[in-house]
Amino acid sequence: MGCAGQASPCPIQQVRDAFPYGRRQHEALDALLDEITNGVVQPLAPADHDHERWTAWGQEHFGRSWYDVPFLWAESYFYRRLLGAVGYFGTGPWQRADPFAPFKQAELRGDAVEEELQALDALASVPAEERATALLHASLWGNRADLGFRVSAGEPAVADAAVPVLVSDDSATLWQLLPAGTSATVAVVADNAGRELIPDLVLIDHLLAHGHAERVVLHVKPYPYYVSDAMTADVVDSLRRLIEASGEAGRIGGRLWKAMAAGSLEVRTHPFFCAPLPYEEMPEDLRKECAGATLTILKGDLNYRRLVGDRLWHPTVPFAERTAYFPRAVAAFRTLKSDVIVGLEQGTLDSLQRSVAAWRTSGTHALIQVRP
């Protein structure tokens, strides 16, 4: 979360600086910061629309120090409380005003996105298979948000070139599940907006345009979360950004816009995407939804923690074993930003452990894992 003395930026300060909030919001943010630093976790007010839901999701954590509750729970609840403090769920003037919108907008309008969109022109003329790999990697590394659509492919420099940056790569299995010309439905559970969502949308366009999927359902967060997580408004902004671009990016945007109207691309959301719970505990309606998809692709680090279980598993525990509960085929695209990892070959683990890189947490490494 980066508050209370941690090195990364504190979202409380970030939103304070980014919005001309009134006294009431500043006081509520002060109180939240004080609660996190010196106090104990307070429940939501009984009148809050999601009071019952959060009680079910972790009543046992209320009244304990923020430092003593599970990290996954604390992070999720923190974002819920932050939104409460700025009046996001209220009926006042700040109702539904995304406190992170200024950061998302700046990224979308930045030079990096512009360059990445322009690079799509060069990609349009390369053979379909090579393009598919480049787009898959762009979506994957978009999770680190510092790599674009380079034809030369998607992999950032790392300290130790002897160690593979893709620590697991099941992309061949992914393409086997989605051969061109199938009537597959693909569910994509999005992670970050901006520099991650744009390559996700470009990949979705490729799946639809080349017959790897007949229908794609893009799942986004129901409210602002983890600063940059994508919501419906971010999908709209990204689609507009694509459409306004020249060349191939603009054409992709136009196709996606039409796909939305035709129903071959659908945006959906569910409260569970902001839940502090593993996917193993997903509710029945979401389980049915995933069972109906040929493949569900989960993007990002947090989704990975929730998919395999937020624990320090031995890295060679099979991915298939940890995801056996998932109702149908599932894929994880993730740059490594936390200690949780499974599904590594012993040889890969050995070379990673010999390297000097902080490979588990620095975002220099990534994986594509698939359980058919």
Where do contacts with ligand F6P occur on this chain (CB under 6 A)?
75, 143, 191-192, 226, 300-302, 305, 337-338
Q: Which lies closer to ligand F6P via its Cβ, residue 145 or residue 208?
A: 145
The 10 Å Cβ neighbour count of residue 156 is 14
Pull the structure tokens for residue 32: 């939240």
Q: Which lies closer to ligand F6P via its Cβ, residue 41 or residue 307?
A: 307
Q: Which lies closer to ligand F6P via its Cβ, residue 210 or residue 270?
A: 270
* Phi, then psi, of 143 in degrees rounded to 5: -65, -25
Contact 19, 99 (CB under 8 A): yes
Q: Which lies closer to ligand F6P via its Cβ, residue 78 or residue 326?
A: 78
Q: Which lies closer to ligand F6P via its Cβ, residue 118 or residue 232?
A: 232
Residue 198 C-alpha from the chain's centroid? 12
Nearest distance in Å: CB 210, ligand F6P: 27
Angstrom distance (rounded) from CA 249 to CA 241: 9
Nearest distance in Å: CB 226, ligand F6P: 6
The sign of the CA dihedral 181, 185, 189, 192 is positive
Which of 237, 298, 227 is CA-nearest to residue 78? 227
Angstrom distance (rounded) from CA 180 to CA 208: 9
DSSP letters spanning 304-339: HHHHH-SS---TTS-HHHHTTTSSS-EEEEEE--SS
Nearest distance in Å: CB 257, ligand F6P: 26
Nearest distance in Å: CB 271, ligand F6P: 18
Nearest distance in Å: CB 181, ligand F6P: 33
Nearest distance in Å: CB 144, ligand F6P: 8
DSSP letters spanning 154-207: S----S-TTS-SEEEE-HHHHHHHS-TT---EEEEE--BSTTTHHHHHHHHHHH
Q: Which lies closer to ligand F6P via its Cβ, residue 87 or residue 276?
A: 276
